[in-house]
Chain A
Amino acid sequence: MIRIENLVKSFGPKRAVDGVSFNVERGEVLGFLGPNGAGKSTTMRMITGFIPPTEGKIAVGGYDVTESPLEAKRLIGYLPEAAPAYPDMTVHGFLAFAADMRGLTGGAKHKAIDRVVELCFLDSVLHQGIDTLSKGYKHRTCLAQALIHDPEVLVLDEPTDGLDPNQKHEVRNLIRELGRTKAVVFSTHILEEVDAACTRAIIIDRGRIVANGTPAELRGMSGLAGAVTVSGQGVSADKLAPLGRVEVADGAYRVFPADKAAAGELAREVAALATRESWRLEALRTEEGQLDEVFRRITLPDTVKK
Protein backbone atom coordinates (compact mmCIF):
# COMPACT_ATOMS: atom_id res chain seq x y z
CA MET A 1 0.00 0.00 0.00
CA ILE A 2 2.83 2.38 0.81
CA ARG A 3 5.92 2.31 -1.40
CA ILE A 4 8.79 4.61 -0.61
CA GLU A 5 11.87 4.80 -2.77
CA ASN A 6 15.02 6.65 -1.90
CA LEU A 7 13.23 9.43 -0.04
CA VAL A 8 15.30 12.54 0.72
CA LYS A 9 14.32 15.74 2.49
CA SER A 10 16.80 18.56 2.93
CA PHE A 11 16.28 21.60 5.12
CA GLY A 12 19.04 23.88 3.91
CA PRO A 13 22.29 21.95 4.17
CA LYS A 14 20.84 19.45 6.63
CA ARG A 15 19.46 16.21 5.24
CA ALA A 16 16.67 15.37 7.67
CA VAL A 17 15.73 12.26 5.70
CA ASP A 18 18.50 10.73 3.69
CA GLY A 19 17.67 7.96 1.25
CA VAL A 20 14.90 6.07 3.02
CA SER A 21 13.17 3.20 1.19
CA PHE A 22 10.56 0.79 2.50
CA ASN A 23 7.20 -0.78 1.70
CA VAL A 24 4.19 -1.39 3.89
CA GLU A 25 1.57 -3.88 2.76
CA ARG A 26 -2.03 -4.35 3.87
CA GLY A 27 -2.12 -6.35 7.10
CA GLU A 28 1.17 -4.93 8.31
CA VAL A 29 1.82 -2.66 11.28
CA LEU A 30 5.13 -0.93 10.84
CA GLY A 31 6.73 0.59 13.92
CA PHE A 32 8.92 3.57 13.23
CA LEU A 33 11.61 3.95 15.86
CA GLY A 34 14.40 6.39 16.33
CA PRO A 35 15.81 9.05 18.63
CA ASN A 36 14.28 12.53 18.60
CA GLY A 37 15.17 14.39 15.43
CA ALA A 38 15.95 11.21 13.50
CA GLY A 39 13.51 12.10 10.72
CA LYS A 40 10.45 10.09 11.75
CA SER A 41 7.97 12.96 11.66
CA THR A 42 9.48 14.41 8.50
CA THR A 43 9.05 11.06 6.74
CA MET A 44 5.43 10.82 7.89
CA ARG A 45 4.70 14.36 6.77
CA MET A 46 6.00 13.47 3.33
CA ILE A 47 3.89 10.29 3.15
CA THR A 48 0.77 12.28 3.99
CA GLY A 49 1.60 14.97 1.47
CA PHE A 50 2.05 17.81 3.95
CA ILE A 51 5.62 18.55 2.86
CA PRO A 52 7.04 17.73 -0.56
CA PRO A 53 10.09 15.45 -0.74
CA THR A 54 13.36 16.87 -2.04
CA GLU A 55 14.06 13.63 -3.90
CA GLY A 56 12.54 10.20 -4.19
CA LYS A 57 9.11 8.70 -4.75
CA ILE A 58 6.20 7.94 -2.47
CA ALA A 59 3.19 5.99 -3.69
CA VAL A 60 0.14 5.29 -1.54
CA GLY A 61 -2.26 2.71 -2.93
CA GLY A 62 -0.62 3.14 -6.32
CA TYR A 63 -1.04 6.94 -6.35
CA ASP A 64 2.07 9.09 -6.39
CA VAL A 65 1.75 11.54 -3.51
CA THR A 66 3.27 14.47 -5.43
CA GLU A 67 1.49 13.80 -8.73
CA SER A 68 -2.00 12.82 -7.54
CA PRO A 69 -2.11 14.14 -3.96
CA LEU A 70 -5.91 14.14 -3.64
CA GLU A 71 -6.30 10.47 -4.56
CA ALA A 72 -3.47 9.51 -2.21
CA LYS A 73 -4.76 11.67 0.65
CA ARG A 74 -8.22 10.11 0.37
CA LEU A 75 -6.72 6.73 1.27
CA ILE A 76 -4.81 8.01 4.29
CA GLY A 77 -5.86 8.69 7.85
CA TYR A 78 -3.27 10.81 9.63
CA LEU A 79 -2.63 11.66 13.24
CA PRO A 80 -0.04 14.46 13.32
CA GLU A 81 2.54 14.60 16.07
CA ALA A 82 0.96 17.11 18.45
CA ALA A 83 -2.58 15.81 17.75
CA PRO A 84 -3.87 19.22 16.64
CA ALA A 85 -7.59 19.98 16.62
CA TYR A 86 -9.61 23.18 16.30
CA PRO A 87 -9.96 24.38 19.92
CA ASP A 88 -13.12 26.39 19.27
CA MET A 89 -15.11 23.35 18.11
CA THR A 90 -16.85 20.64 20.09
CA VAL A 91 -15.67 17.06 19.68
CA HIS A 92 -18.81 16.25 17.71
CA GLY A 93 -18.50 19.36 15.55
CA PHE A 94 -14.88 18.55 14.80
CA LEU A 95 -15.64 14.96 13.83
CA ALA A 96 -18.55 16.13 11.67
CA PHE A 97 -16.18 18.54 9.93
CA ALA A 98 -13.68 15.73 9.33
CA ALA A 99 -16.51 13.55 7.95
CA ASP A 100 -17.63 16.35 5.62
CA MET A 101 -14.09 16.83 4.39
CA ARG A 102 -13.92 13.13 3.63
CA GLY A 103 -17.12 13.35 1.61
CA LEU A 104 -19.31 11.44 4.05
CA THR A 105 -22.94 12.54 4.16
CA GLY A 106 -26.26 11.63 5.75
CA GLY A 107 -26.51 8.21 7.36
CA ALA A 108 -22.93 7.23 6.48
CA LYS A 109 -21.68 10.33 8.28
CA HIS A 110 -23.67 9.58 11.44
CA LYS A 111 -22.54 5.97 11.42
CA ALA A 112 -18.89 6.98 10.94
CA ILE A 113 -19.05 9.43 13.83
CA ASP A 114 -20.72 6.86 16.11
CA ARG A 115 -18.11 4.27 15.15
CA VAL A 116 -15.04 6.41 15.93
CA VAL A 117 -16.62 7.82 19.10
CA GLU A 118 -16.96 4.26 20.34
CA LEU A 119 -13.49 3.19 19.14
CA CYS A 120 -11.80 6.12 20.82
CA PHE A 121 -14.00 6.31 23.96
CA LEU A 122 -15.16 9.85 23.34
CA ASP A 123 -18.77 9.39 24.40
CA SER A 124 -18.46 11.34 27.66
CA VAL A 125 -16.94 14.44 26.03
CA LEU A 126 -18.87 14.43 22.76
CA HIS A 127 -20.41 17.88 23.22
CA GLN A 128 -17.52 19.45 25.08
CA GLY A 129 -15.31 22.12 23.55
CA ILE A 130 -11.94 20.77 22.45
CA ASP A 131 -10.13 23.56 24.33
CA THR A 132 -11.55 22.19 27.60
CA LEU A 133 -10.33 18.63 27.03
CA SER A 134 -7.45 16.95 28.83
CA LYS A 135 -4.46 15.96 26.74
CA GLY A 136 -5.53 12.33 26.51
CA TYR A 137 -9.00 13.19 25.24
CA LYS A 138 -7.64 15.75 22.80
CA HIS A 139 -5.26 13.13 21.49
CA ARG A 140 -8.02 10.59 21.01
CA THR A 141 -10.23 13.18 19.31
CA CYS A 142 -7.53 13.68 16.72
CA LEU A 143 -7.09 9.93 16.41
CA ALA A 144 -10.85 9.59 15.83
CA GLN A 145 -10.56 12.14 13.03
CA ALA A 146 -7.91 9.96 11.39
CA LEU A 147 -10.20 6.91 11.50
CA ILE A 148 -13.45 8.55 10.44
CA HIS A 149 -13.36 7.46 6.80
CA ASP A 150 -12.12 3.95 7.65
CA PRO A 151 -8.93 4.58 5.66
CA GLU A 152 -6.87 1.84 4.07
CA VAL A 153 -3.64 3.47 5.18
CA LEU A 154 -3.06 4.84 8.65
CA VAL A 155 -0.14 7.10 9.51
CA LEU A 156 0.07 7.78 13.22
CA ASP A 157 2.78 10.00 14.65
CA GLU A 158 3.28 8.99 18.28
CA PRO A 159 -0.28 7.76 18.83
CA THR A 160 0.25 6.90 22.50
CA ASP A 161 2.04 10.09 23.50
CA GLY A 162 0.42 11.75 26.50
CA LEU A 163 -1.93 8.88 27.31
CA ASP A 164 -2.14 7.13 30.66
CA PRO A 165 -1.13 3.43 30.85
CA ASN A 166 -4.69 2.16 30.40
CA GLN A 167 -5.27 4.36 27.38
CA LYS A 168 -1.90 3.35 25.95
CA HIS A 169 -2.94 -0.26 26.24
CA GLU A 170 -6.27 0.43 24.51
CA VAL A 171 -4.66 2.35 21.67
CA ARG A 172 -2.05 -0.38 21.11
CA ASN A 173 -4.78 -2.98 20.92
CA LEU A 174 -6.69 -0.75 18.54
CA ILE A 175 -3.64 -0.36 16.30
CA ARG A 176 -3.04 -4.09 16.24
CA GLU A 177 -6.69 -4.69 15.46
CA LEU A 178 -6.72 -2.12 12.65
CA GLY A 179 -3.49 -3.54 11.28
CA ARG A 180 -5.20 -6.79 10.32
CA THR A 181 -7.01 -5.14 7.41
CA LYS A 182 -5.02 -1.94 6.80
CA ALA A 183 -1.49 -0.76 6.25
CA VAL A 184 -0.41 1.05 9.42
CA VAL A 185 2.72 3.08 10.06
CA PHE A 186 3.22 4.48 13.53
CA SER A 187 6.14 6.15 15.21
CA THR A 188 7.05 5.81 18.82
CA HIS A 189 9.99 5.90 21.12
CA ILE A 190 8.46 3.48 23.57
CA LEU A 191 10.12 0.19 22.69
CA GLU A 192 7.61 -2.07 24.37
CA GLU A 193 5.03 -0.83 21.87
CA VAL A 194 6.96 -2.49 19.12
CA ASP A 195 6.35 -5.85 20.76
CA ALA A 196 2.79 -4.97 21.66
CA ALA A 197 1.58 -3.83 18.26
CA CYS A 198 4.04 -4.17 15.38
CA THR A 199 4.53 -6.88 12.82
CA ARG A 200 7.68 -5.11 11.64
CA ALA A 201 9.89 -2.31 12.88
CA ILE A 202 12.30 0.13 11.32
CA ILE A 203 14.92 1.98 13.30
CA ILE A 204 15.85 5.27 11.73
CA ASP A 205 18.80 7.39 12.79
CA ARG A 206 20.04 10.67 11.32
CA GLY A 207 17.66 10.24 8.40
CA ARG A 208 18.80 6.73 7.47
CA ILE A 209 17.30 3.32 8.11
CA VAL A 210 19.71 1.47 10.36
CA ALA A 211 17.60 -1.61 11.08
CA ASN A 212 14.54 -3.19 9.50
CA GLY A 213 12.91 -6.43 10.59
CA THR A 214 10.34 -8.17 12.75
CA PRO A 215 10.56 -7.40 16.47
CA ALA A 216 12.13 -10.86 16.97
CA GLU A 217 14.75 -10.21 14.31
CA LEU A 218 15.63 -6.86 15.85
CA ARG A 219 15.97 -8.44 19.25
CA GLY A 220 18.24 -11.05 17.64
CA MET A 221 20.67 -8.24 16.83
CA SER A 222 21.17 -7.79 20.54
CA GLY A 223 24.49 -9.05 21.95
CA LEU A 224 22.44 -10.79 24.57
CA ALA A 225 20.35 -12.80 22.12
CA GLY A 226 20.96 -16.53 22.24
CA ALA A 227 22.77 -16.41 25.57
CA VAL A 228 21.66 -18.90 28.19
CA THR A 229 21.15 -17.72 31.75
CA VAL A 230 21.42 -20.35 34.41
CA SER A 231 21.25 -20.11 38.19
CA GLY A 232 21.07 -22.58 41.03
CA GLN A 233 23.11 -24.42 43.66
CA GLY A 234 26.37 -25.89 42.53
CA VAL A 235 26.54 -24.07 39.23
CA SER A 236 30.13 -23.16 38.47
CA ALA A 237 31.65 -20.96 35.85
CA ASP A 238 34.58 -23.32 35.29
CA LYS A 239 32.31 -26.16 34.24
CA LEU A 240 30.33 -23.87 31.89
CA ALA A 241 33.40 -22.34 30.29
CA PRO A 242 33.88 -25.00 27.58
CA LEU A 243 30.39 -24.17 26.20
CA GLY A 244 31.17 -20.51 25.57
CA ARG A 245 32.06 -17.21 27.17
CA VAL A 246 30.63 -16.97 30.70
CA GLU A 247 29.56 -13.86 32.59
CA VAL A 248 28.33 -13.62 36.16
CA ALA A 249 25.38 -11.32 36.69
CA ASP A 250 23.15 -10.97 39.79
CA GLY A 251 24.15 -14.40 41.14
CA ALA A 252 23.31 -16.03 37.81
CA TYR A 253 25.66 -17.29 35.15
CA ARG A 254 25.21 -16.26 31.57
CA VAL A 255 26.76 -18.31 28.81
CA PHE A 256 27.23 -16.71 25.41
CA PRO A 257 27.32 -19.14 22.50
CA ALA A 258 30.34 -19.11 20.25
CA ASP A 259 28.03 -19.44 17.27
CA LYS A 260 24.70 -17.54 17.44
CA ALA A 261 23.05 -19.86 14.95
CA ALA A 262 23.45 -22.79 17.31
CA ALA A 263 21.85 -20.91 20.20
CA GLY A 264 19.05 -23.47 20.56
CA GLU A 265 21.59 -26.21 21.20
CA LEU A 266 23.24 -24.31 24.00
CA ALA A 267 20.30 -24.53 26.41
CA ARG A 268 20.14 -28.30 25.90
CA GLU A 269 23.87 -28.61 26.48
CA VAL A 270 23.66 -26.57 29.68
CA ALA A 271 20.73 -28.71 30.85
CA ALA A 272 22.69 -31.90 30.10
CA LEU A 273 25.68 -30.52 31.97
CA ALA A 274 23.50 -29.67 34.94
CA THR A 275 22.16 -33.23 35.07
CA ARG A 276 25.67 -34.70 34.86
CA GLU A 277 26.96 -32.43 37.62
CA SER A 278 23.76 -32.77 39.72
CA TRP A 279 23.25 -29.00 39.97
CA ARG A 280 20.03 -27.98 41.62
CA LEU A 281 18.78 -25.49 39.04
CA GLU A 282 16.50 -22.59 39.95
CA ALA A 283 16.30 -21.07 36.48
CA LEU A 284 17.44 -21.84 32.98
CA ARG A 285 16.44 -19.73 30.05
CA THR A 286 17.54 -18.65 26.60
CA GLU A 287 17.70 -14.86 26.28
CA GLU A 288 15.74 -13.35 23.38
CA GLY A 289 17.68 -10.15 23.47
CA GLN A 290 16.35 -6.75 24.47
CA LEU A 291 15.11 -4.13 22.05
CA ASP A 292 16.32 -1.23 24.11
CA GLU A 293 19.83 -2.64 24.07
CA VAL A 294 19.70 -2.95 20.27
CA PHE A 295 18.23 0.53 19.99
CA ARG A 296 20.92 2.08 22.18
CA ARG A 297 23.74 0.26 20.46
CA ILE A 298 22.59 1.38 17.02
CA THR A 299 21.69 4.96 17.82
CA LEU A 300 23.76 5.90 20.85
CA PRO A 301 26.82 7.45 19.16
CA ASP A 302 24.49 10.00 17.64
CA THR A 303 22.70 10.89 20.85
CA VAL A 304 25.94 11.23 22.78
CA LYS A 305 27.41 13.60 20.20
CA LYS A 306 24.49 15.95 20.65
Chain B
Amino acid sequence: MISAWKTVRTIARRELASYFTSPVAYVFLVIFLLLTGFFTFTAGGFFERGEASLASFFGWHPWLYLVLVPAVGMRLWSEERRSGTLELLLTMPVTTWQAILGKFLASWAFLAIALALTFPVVLTVNVLGDPDNGVIATGYFGSLLLSGSYLAISCMTSAMTRNQVVAFILGVVICLFLILCGFNPVTDLLARWASPAVVDTVAAFSVIPHFDGFQKGVIDSRDLFYFLSVIGFALFATGVILRNHRAG
Protein backbone atom coordinates (compact mmCIF):
# COMPACT_ATOMS: atom_id res chain seq x y z
CA MET B 1 0.00 0.00 0.00
CA ILE B 2 2.82 2.38 0.93
CA SER B 3 4.80 1.47 -2.16
CA ALA B 4 1.68 1.87 -4.32
CA TRP B 5 1.28 5.42 -3.05
CA LYS B 6 4.99 6.06 -3.57
CA THR B 7 4.63 5.05 -7.21
CA VAL B 8 1.69 7.44 -7.62
CA ARG B 9 3.79 10.20 -6.09
CA THR B 10 6.76 9.47 -8.35
CA ILE B 11 4.57 9.68 -11.44
CA ALA B 12 2.88 12.83 -10.16
CA ARG B 13 6.20 14.51 -9.41
CA ARG B 14 7.52 13.80 -12.89
CA GLU B 15 4.32 15.06 -14.48
CA LEU B 16 4.22 18.26 -12.46
CA ALA B 17 7.89 18.95 -13.19
CA SER B 18 7.22 18.49 -16.89
CA TYR B 19 4.75 21.40 -16.81
CA PHE B 20 7.38 23.71 -15.45
CA THR B 21 10.24 22.62 -17.71
CA SER B 22 8.24 23.70 -20.74
CA PRO B 23 6.80 27.17 -21.35
CA VAL B 24 3.29 25.69 -21.08
CA ALA B 25 3.06 26.33 -17.35
CA TYR B 26 4.12 29.97 -17.52
CA VAL B 27 1.97 30.78 -20.54
CA PHE B 28 -0.98 29.16 -18.84
CA LEU B 29 -0.43 30.91 -15.52
CA VAL B 30 -0.08 34.33 -17.10
CA ILE B 31 -3.15 33.91 -19.30
CA PHE B 32 -5.19 32.47 -16.44
CA LEU B 33 -4.33 35.35 -14.13
CA LEU B 34 -4.89 38.00 -16.82
CA LEU B 35 -8.26 36.54 -17.73
CA THR B 36 -9.45 36.16 -14.14
CA GLY B 37 -8.41 39.77 -13.54
CA PHE B 38 -10.20 40.99 -16.64
CA PHE B 39 -13.39 39.06 -15.98
CA THR B 40 -13.51 39.94 -12.29
CA PHE B 41 -12.82 43.63 -12.47
CA THR B 42 -14.00 44.67 -15.92
CA ALA B 43 -16.57 42.25 -17.26
CA GLY B 44 -17.73 41.13 -13.82
CA GLY B 45 -18.17 44.66 -12.48
CA PHE B 46 -16.34 43.98 -9.21
CA PHE B 47 -16.41 47.63 -8.11
CA GLU B 48 -19.84 48.50 -9.50
CA ARG B 49 -21.44 45.76 -7.40
CA GLY B 50 -20.60 47.64 -4.26
CA GLU B 51 -20.44 44.50 -2.16
CA ALA B 52 -17.52 42.82 -0.45
CA SER B 53 -17.76 39.44 -2.16
CA LEU B 54 -16.00 37.47 -4.85
CA ALA B 55 -19.17 36.58 -6.75
CA SER B 56 -17.87 38.38 -9.82
CA PHE B 57 -14.65 36.37 -9.52
CA PHE B 58 -16.03 32.86 -9.11
CA GLY B 59 -18.99 33.37 -11.43
CA TRP B 60 -16.71 33.28 -14.47
CA HIS B 61 -14.81 30.16 -13.50
CA PRO B 62 -17.02 27.58 -15.27
CA TRP B 63 -16.45 29.50 -18.54
CA LEU B 64 -12.80 30.25 -17.97
CA TYR B 65 -12.04 26.64 -17.10
CA LEU B 66 -14.00 25.51 -20.13
CA VAL B 67 -11.14 26.62 -22.38
CA LEU B 68 -8.17 26.53 -20.05
CA VAL B 69 -8.56 23.19 -18.27
CA PRO B 70 -8.77 21.04 -21.43
CA ALA B 71 -5.63 22.88 -22.56
CA VAL B 72 -3.86 21.59 -19.45
CA GLY B 73 -5.32 18.09 -19.67
CA MET B 74 -5.08 17.45 -23.39
CA ARG B 75 -1.46 16.31 -23.35
CA LEU B 76 -1.77 13.92 -20.39
CA TRP B 77 -2.22 10.70 -22.38
CA SER B 78 -2.18 11.72 -26.02
CA GLU B 79 1.41 12.90 -25.64
CA GLU B 80 2.41 9.61 -24.01
CA ARG B 81 0.73 7.70 -26.79
CA ARG B 82 2.26 9.80 -29.55
CA SER B 83 5.82 9.63 -28.25
CA GLY B 84 5.61 5.95 -27.25
CA THR B 85 6.42 6.66 -23.60
CA LEU B 86 3.10 5.06 -22.68
CA GLU B 87 4.71 1.70 -23.43
CA LEU B 88 7.66 2.62 -21.25
CA LEU B 89 5.50 3.82 -18.36
CA LEU B 90 3.08 0.90 -18.33
CA THR B 91 5.80 -1.76 -18.57
CA MET B 92 7.34 -0.40 -15.38
CA PRO B 93 5.96 -1.97 -12.20
CA VAL B 94 2.82 0.20 -12.01
CA THR B 95 -0.85 -0.49 -12.40
CA THR B 96 -2.85 1.56 -14.88
CA TRP B 97 -4.74 3.10 -11.95
CA GLN B 98 -1.57 4.33 -10.28
CA ALA B 99 -0.49 5.95 -13.53
CA ILE B 100 -3.89 7.58 -14.09
CA LEU B 101 -4.11 8.84 -10.53
CA GLY B 102 -0.53 10.14 -10.52
CA LYS B 103 -0.94 12.07 -13.73
CA PHE B 104 -4.36 13.40 -12.75
CA LEU B 105 -3.19 14.57 -9.32
CA ALA B 106 -0.17 16.31 -10.85
CA SER B 107 -2.31 18.33 -13.28
CA TRP B 108 -4.84 19.05 -10.57
CA ALA B 109 -2.04 20.30 -8.34
CA PHE B 110 -0.94 22.54 -11.18
CA LEU B 111 -4.46 23.97 -11.49
CA ALA B 112 -4.50 24.43 -7.71
CA ILE B 113 -1.27 26.43 -7.98
CA ALA B 114 -2.85 28.61 -10.66
CA LEU B 115 -5.91 29.11 -8.49
CA ALA B 116 -3.79 29.91 -5.42
CA LEU B 117 -2.01 32.62 -7.39
CA THR B 118 -5.28 34.55 -7.56
CA PHE B 119 -4.81 35.43 -3.87
CA PRO B 120 -4.47 39.19 -4.60
CA VAL B 121 -8.22 39.23 -5.32
CA VAL B 122 -8.84 38.00 -1.80
CA LEU B 123 -6.50 40.63 -0.39
CA THR B 124 -8.17 43.35 -2.47
CA VAL B 125 -11.65 42.53 -1.29
CA ASN B 126 -10.45 42.33 2.30
CA VAL B 127 -8.76 45.73 2.06
CA LEU B 128 -11.81 47.37 0.49
CA GLY B 129 -14.47 45.86 2.68
CA ASP B 130 -15.37 43.21 5.15
CA PRO B 131 -16.21 40.07 3.20
CA ASP B 132 -17.24 36.71 4.62
CA ASN B 133 -13.96 34.83 4.25
CA GLY B 134 -15.71 31.53 4.96
CA VAL B 135 -17.76 32.00 1.80
CA ILE B 136 -14.59 32.83 -0.10
CA ALA B 137 -12.96 29.65 1.20
CA THR B 138 -15.87 27.44 0.11
CA GLY B 139 -15.86 29.33 -3.19
CA TYR B 140 -12.24 28.36 -3.73
CA PHE B 141 -13.00 24.79 -2.71
CA GLY B 142 -15.87 24.60 -5.20
CA SER B 143 -13.70 26.12 -7.91
CA LEU B 144 -11.03 23.50 -7.27
CA LEU B 145 -13.59 20.69 -7.52
CA LEU B 146 -14.93 22.21 -10.73
CA SER B 147 -11.47 22.34 -12.29
CA GLY B 148 -10.88 18.75 -11.14
CA SER B 149 -14.06 17.60 -12.89
CA TYR B 150 -13.15 19.33 -16.14
CA LEU B 151 -9.63 17.96 -15.82
CA ALA B 152 -10.80 14.38 -15.34
CA ILE B 153 -12.94 14.76 -18.47
CA SER B 154 -9.97 16.17 -20.41
CA CYS B 155 -7.89 13.28 -19.10
CA MET B 156 -10.47 10.89 -20.55
CA THR B 157 -10.59 12.60 -23.96
CA SER B 158 -6.80 12.71 -23.98
CA ALA B 159 -6.67 8.93 -23.58
CA MET B 160 -8.91 8.54 -26.63
CA THR B 161 -6.50 9.92 -29.19
CA ARG B 162 -2.84 10.59 -29.87
CA ASN B 163 -3.82 13.95 -31.32
CA GLN B 164 -3.82 16.71 -28.70
CA VAL B 165 -6.04 19.03 -30.74
CA VAL B 166 -8.73 16.38 -31.01
CA ALA B 167 -8.40 15.71 -27.27
CA PHE B 168 -8.78 19.44 -26.56
CA ILE B 169 -11.87 19.89 -28.73
CA LEU B 170 -13.58 16.78 -27.35
CA GLY B 171 -12.81 17.96 -23.83
CA VAL B 172 -14.26 21.41 -24.44
CA VAL B 173 -17.40 19.96 -26.01
CA ILE B 174 -18.10 17.60 -23.11
CA CYS B 175 -17.43 20.30 -20.51
CA LEU B 176 -19.63 22.72 -22.48
CA PHE B 177 -22.39 20.14 -22.39
CA LEU B 178 -22.06 19.97 -18.60
CA ILE B 179 -22.48 23.74 -18.40
CA LEU B 180 -25.31 24.08 -20.91
CA CYS B 181 -27.47 21.10 -20.04
CA GLY B 182 -29.00 22.95 -17.09
CA PHE B 183 -29.68 26.21 -18.95
CA ASN B 184 -33.29 27.08 -19.63
CA PRO B 185 -32.94 27.61 -23.41
CA VAL B 186 -31.42 24.14 -23.66
CA THR B 187 -33.92 22.41 -21.40
CA ASP B 188 -36.78 24.16 -23.26
CA LEU B 189 -35.38 22.87 -26.53
CA LEU B 190 -35.13 19.36 -25.13
CA ALA B 191 -38.64 19.52 -23.65
CA ARG B 192 -40.12 19.82 -27.16
CA TRP B 193 -39.40 16.23 -28.02
CA ALA B 194 -38.21 14.50 -24.85
CA SER B 195 -40.25 13.45 -21.84
CA PRO B 196 -39.95 15.60 -18.70
CA ALA B 197 -38.12 12.76 -16.97
CA VAL B 198 -35.40 12.83 -19.64
CA VAL B 199 -35.18 16.62 -19.46
CA ASP B 200 -34.79 16.47 -15.68
CA THR B 201 -32.15 13.77 -15.92
CA VAL B 202 -30.13 15.74 -18.46
CA ALA B 203 -30.51 18.93 -16.44
CA ALA B 204 -29.28 17.10 -13.35
CA PHE B 205 -25.90 16.67 -15.06
CA SER B 206 -25.45 20.42 -15.11
CA VAL B 207 -22.42 21.66 -13.29
CA ILE B 208 -23.72 25.17 -12.57
CA PRO B 209 -26.27 24.47 -9.79
CA HIS B 210 -23.72 22.33 -7.97
CA PHE B 211 -21.07 25.00 -8.34
CA ASP B 212 -23.43 27.76 -7.15
CA GLY B 213 -23.94 26.10 -3.79
CA PHE B 214 -20.26 26.58 -2.95
CA GLN B 215 -20.47 30.29 -3.90
CA LYS B 216 -23.14 30.74 -1.26
CA GLY B 217 -20.86 29.30 1.38
CA VAL B 218 -22.65 25.95 1.54
CA ILE B 219 -20.83 22.65 1.24
CA ASP B 220 -23.70 20.34 0.40
CA SER B 221 -22.82 16.64 0.41
CA ARG B 222 -24.84 16.24 -2.81
CA ASP B 223 -22.70 18.85 -4.58
CA LEU B 224 -19.55 17.23 -3.23
CA PHE B 225 -20.83 13.86 -4.37
CA TYR B 226 -21.63 15.25 -7.82
CA PHE B 227 -18.11 16.56 -8.43
CA LEU B 228 -16.37 13.53 -6.97
CA SER B 229 -18.51 11.18 -9.04
CA VAL B 230 -17.76 13.14 -12.23
CA ILE B 231 -14.04 12.85 -11.42
CA GLY B 232 -14.36 9.19 -10.47
CA PHE B 233 -16.36 8.27 -13.55
CA ALA B 234 -14.09 10.13 -15.97
CA LEU B 235 -10.94 8.56 -14.49
CA PHE B 236 -12.54 5.14 -14.58
CA ALA B 237 -13.42 5.71 -18.24
CA THR B 238 -9.80 6.73 -18.84
CA GLY B 239 -8.70 3.37 -17.48
CA VAL B 240 -11.16 1.49 -19.68
CA ILE B 241 -10.07 3.44 -22.77
CA LEU B 242 -6.39 2.79 -22.07
CA ARG B 243 -7.03 -0.90 -21.53
CA ASN B 244 -8.98 -1.20 -24.77
CA HIS B 245 -6.28 0.67 -26.62
CA ARG B 246 -3.66 -1.76 -25.36
CA ALA B 247 -5.78 -4.82 -26.04
CA GLY B 248 -5.90 -3.67 -29.71
Residues of A within 8 A of B (CB): 9, 11, 45, 48-52, 69-70, 73-74, 76, 78, 80-82, 84-89, 93, 97-98, 100-103, 142, 145
Contacts and interface: CB of A to CB of B under 8 A. Distances in A.
Contact of B95 (A48, A70, A76): A70
Contact of B10 (A11, A49, A101): A101
Contacts of A85: 85, 88
Given A98-B92, A101-B92, A102-B92, A50 B87 contact: yes
Contacts of A93: 17
B124 interface: no
A82 B84 contact: yes
20 contacts: A11-B248, A48-B91, A50-B91, A50-B246, A51-B248, A52-B247, A70-B94, A76-B91, A80-B84, A80-B87, A80-B88, A80-B91, A84-B84, A84-B88, A86-B18, A89-B18, A93-B17, A100-B10, A101-B93, A142-B88
Given A88-B21, A88-B22, A78 B91 contact: yes
A82 B14 CA distance: 21
Contacts of B84: 80-82, 84
A97 B246 contact: no
Contacts, number: 70
Given A76-B91, A84-B88, A101-B93, 4 more contacts: A52-B247, A80-B88, A86-B18, A101-B7
The 10 closest A-B pairs by CB, nearest first: A84-B84, A48-B91, A100-B10, A73-B93, A84-B85, A101-B92, A80-B87, A74-B93, A11-B248, A78-B91
A81 B94 CA distance: 20
Contacts of B93: 70, 73-74, 101-103
Given A45-B87, A86-B18, A89-B21, A101 B94 contact: yes
